Amino acid sequence: MIVDTYPARLAAEHISVILADGTQLLDDVSIAVQSREIVAIIGESGTGKTTLLDTLAGLRTPTTGTVRLGEEDGGSVVGYVPQDDIVHRELTVEATVRYSARLRLPPGTSPAAIDFAVDETLAMLGLAERRKQSVHSLSGGQRKRASIATELVTHPHVCFLDEPTAGLDPIASAALMDVMRRLADDGTAIIMTTHNLDDLRVADRLIVITHGGRVAFDGPPLDAPTYFDVGDMADVCRLLATTSAGRSTAPVGNARPRARLRTRRPPSRGRGSAVSQWRVLARRNVELIVRNRMSLAIMAGSPVLVVAMFAVLFRPEAFAPQTSNPTASVAITYWISFAGFFFGLTFGLLQICTEFAVVRRERLVAIDVGPYLLAKVAVLIPALGAVNVLMAVTLGGLGRLPTLDLALLGRLVGVLMLDSLAGLVLGLLASASVANPAQAALALPMLCFPAVLFSGAVVPLRSMTSLGQAIGAAMSDRWAFEAVARTIHLDSALAGSAAGRHIAAEHGGAFSGSVLNHALVILALTIFLLGGAHVVVLRRTRQA
């Protein structure tokens, strides 16, 4: 009987992954991994290496079998580093690691302890001298180390790495593997996939995956050539390339005793309260916006450009009784309300799709969807407030709006803010639903056209089909248009001429009455859209 000095950190028992079309990705894989052990997984592309890693990490649910983590130390802290460098490139190296520490270290960790963890991690990975550099200015190897640093700052019990040395030069690869060896010697179990045979020099175990997701070998790397009856590991790879399966699916190597295990993954000790998550994420969002000069310029410049175009497009005194132009008055009212919606939509449309890989990784151990979305909203609301105040004050001062006292001006800004909030949440929902910024850009006109066509401004609601009216009822911009009209007393401006009274009649009293009901409808639609965004992010970051 072999007695293992170190406790088991992870055990997978008879796991299989089968797609709906019957494709077998993993076939009855059983693995036990101890603390201080580095397990390397190799195999041809498409054999299931990443599928196995994701299943062990809890990112994919196995069709059959179970994956369990050890319960010692009150629960296992998990680190996961995918192949791509998924860190915010606008932030400095130090800020990147510090935000990860604030999100993942146990609640109540002192600032001094966070500083120590950040300094220690940067020193371990050779990034101390680069701490003030932006991540985008680093070399490929340095960015990889920065990505790994966000996981190592918590000293995880189990760390999963997908192709950690992919794209690195031999010197950078060797240095990174030395760091992994030191981390394992300190007690972390490391499981990694690799195509680089030089990485095996630090591995304690080698798992060879063949087509169909079967384990052809599980044992010390030096034993693999003998097992496959070839000269060296390069010959093993050539052999695997010429056959769809290895010599055997039966694992070899020392048997390992079963450890006491949990039936589910316990929550990470580093996951803080919703309020603490929200606070850290909001602060990070602010820093990301400030450091991204192009995005900041667009966010600041596009509203100024839109307001300037409105000033050029609209004639002054369009609402004055002596110069009233009913058609222009309705158009101005609508385009102001649409601008509020449009500002919110464009602000939110790129917020999630540009960082979805980061969110998916952080959802594994550090954040919940609710605080993540609310942090986005909290940071952008002040910006939208400033934009709407700028638009209302500028257009009012230039005579493009009726004369408003301070109370009415405040009410108008409030309605526009609600419309902007609805547009912002719709943008977040769309951003969570698409795969990349290019798709988000294509979604912009698809979201704007219904808001314009079914708002009741281009075609009065009473002139629409029943289906068109139903769609209009779901458009926040329709309710905002009517709320703005009621706020600025558009009905009074229209009552001064026969043409104006005719237009008001076509809209069926939409321009008179209480604003409160419309505000409540916009708020209800916003909450519904926010719930939709929550569901989409939750589903796309779902863990096993």
Is 289 found in the same domain as 220?
no
Which of 190, 216, 241 represents a domain boundary (last residue)? Answer: 241
Distance CA 541, CA 365 (A): 12
Strands (E), 88-240: 158-162, 189-193, 205-210, 214-219
Are the beta carbons of 349 and 439 closer than 8 angstroms?
A: no
Residue 98 lies in a domain: yes
Provide the pLDDT for residue 176: 86
> Does pTM top 0.85 for this prediction?
no
Confidence of residue 480 (pLDDT cuts 50, 70, 90): very high
Strands (E), 236-375: none
pLDDT in tens, 53-72: 988 888 888 999 988 876 55
Range from 101-115, 236-250, 399-413, 487-501 carrying the lowest mean pLDDT:
236-250
Residue 254 lies in a domain: no
Provide the pLDDT for residue 271: 64
pLDDT in tens, 80-98: 888 777 789 899 999 999 9
Number of domains in the chain: 2
Is 208 found in the same domain as 279?
no
Asked if the model's pLDDT at residue 109 lies above 90, the reply is: no
Residue 158 makes CB contacts below 8 A (sequence gap 6+) with 9, 10, 33, 69, 76, 77, 78, 79, 188, 189, 190, 191
For residues 252-276, give the mean pLDDT.
49
For residues 169-178, give the mean pLDDT.
86
Residue 180 lies in a domain: yes
Residue 286 lies in a domain: yes
Is 225 found in the same domain as 303?
no
Residue 248 lies in a domain: no
Is 401 found in the same domain as 336?
yes
Is 155 found in the same domain as 24?
yes
Average pLDDT, the chain: 86
CATH number at residue 137: 3.40.50.300
Asked if the model's pLDDT at residue 252 lies above 70, the reply is: no
CA 350 vs. chain centroid, Å, equals 10
Provide the pLDDT for residue 249: 41
Residue 255 lies in a domain: no
Asked if the model's pLDDT at residue 467 lies above 60, the reply is: yes
Residue 269 lies in a domain: no
DSSP characters over 32-99? EEETT-EEEEE--TTSSHHHHHHHHHTSS--SEEEEEEB-GGGS--EEEE-SS--S-TTSBHHHHHHH
Is 42 found in the same domain as 139?
yes
Distance CA 229, CA 234 (A): 12
Distance CA 191, CA 72 (A): 19
* The Cα angle at residue 525 between residues 521 and 529, in degrees rounded to 5: 170
Is 401 found in the same domain as 528?
yes
Distance CA 102, CA 272 (A): 9
Q: What's the domain range around 185?
A: 8-241
**Which two three-digit tokens encode residue 305?**
């450009």
Provide the pairing of β-strand 24-34 with 78-81.
unpaired
Is 278 found in the same domain as 236?
no
Residue 483 lies in a domain: yes
